[in-house]
Structure 1
């Protein structure tokens, strides 16, 4: 038995000590962790010996529930900030900041700090491919939770973000689950 096969076998024995009903719940919680996301949690679950479909569904559900929470909180925070923003002189009160009128920086505000490389890459994708492309390509640069917060903070409607995040989570979790299942089955030859 190769060292990789031995390592996977030991990990599967460790996971087998956890009751089967709890295993998907642990994968669900792992899917909610940023940078692990659905694909990482599904991979961990499948390597641990959980059925690939169960691991993928639990991981995707955990990731989407966390994205749903982030979208709800970010949307409320954005609404609170916009509702409290002073209306620029000459702008009508009814259309003020919500419509984007007077979105310039207010006098006396400190300049924003420079953006990270991941955020710059995400912004390029958002401009080039729109919300669907940014949602699907976003996990290559930053976690889906951060992608959702950026999109909502920028004014994208919640339903649109949730729809494309669900598509992205399903796509990347499926890619991760199928890849690790195929690697374990055909390359490492561990069941």
Structure 2
């Protein structure tokens, strides 16, 4: 492969990691198995995922402020649904750290960031905890996949590339 093909593949890692529900910890192992280098793949996947989570956190906060101002202006009272009350109880039981660590594996990091902001987390703490969680899971899966590839003796060529070239 030439330089432009590798550049395109690394750009795809960044873009797919930035898309909700693809997640860095899902894209990185696939890219490593396909034959991309683990370190740049990890860094680009992590950066793509964290960057879009930051945008979600900033965007959710703006919507929240807009809704509160509109409700104050109209003098409306907010009534919570049963689902909202249940989610609030879970938030109180496990807090932001628990939600941030488990949420990305269950519903994805973007939705986890949205939920953490909706349940009362600050921008800073939500960003730190969700970023820590994304980094932890991405690094864990990167190491596991790399060691798995190394144990199979597939360091130099990608497993998926070998399968598709048959």
Partner of 2:93: 128
- Say which one has the larger Rg: 1
- Match 2:36 to one of 9, 27, 50: 50
Aligned-pair CA distance for 1:88: 9.5
Query: How large is the Cα RMSD of the aligned pairs?
Result: 2.7
**Residue by residue, what CA displacement relative to the aligned partner does 1:147-182 show, whole Å, maximum 9, x if unpaired?**
111111222111111111111111010011111111
What is the CA deviation profile of residues 114-172 of structure 1, one whole-angstrom value per residue up to 9, with x for unaligned ones? 57xxx96x963x33331122111112211000011111122211111111111111101
CA distance in 2, matches of 1:155, 1:70: 15
* Contact 2:53-2:110 at 8 Å conserved across structures: yes
Q: State the structure with bigger RCO (CA 8 A, min sep 6), 1 or 2.
A: 2
Does residue 180 in structure 1 map to residue 141 in structure 2? no
How far apart are 1:79 and its partner, in Å? 0.5
Q: CA deviation at 1:38?
A: 1.0
Structure 2 portions without partners, runs of 5+: 156-166
Greater helix content? 2
Alpha-carbon distance in 2 for matches of 1:175, 1:123: 30
The residue that corresponds to 2:60 in the other structure is 74
TM-score by length of 2: 0.80
Matched residue, 2:162: none
Instruction: Kindly provide the CA deviation profile for residues 46-92 of structure 1, in whole angstroms up to 9, marking residues without a partner as x.
Output: 11211111111111101001101111111110110011113798xxx
2:131 to 166, 175, 178: 166
In structure 1, the gaps of 5 or more residues are 1-15, 90-101, 106-110
Number of equivalences: 153
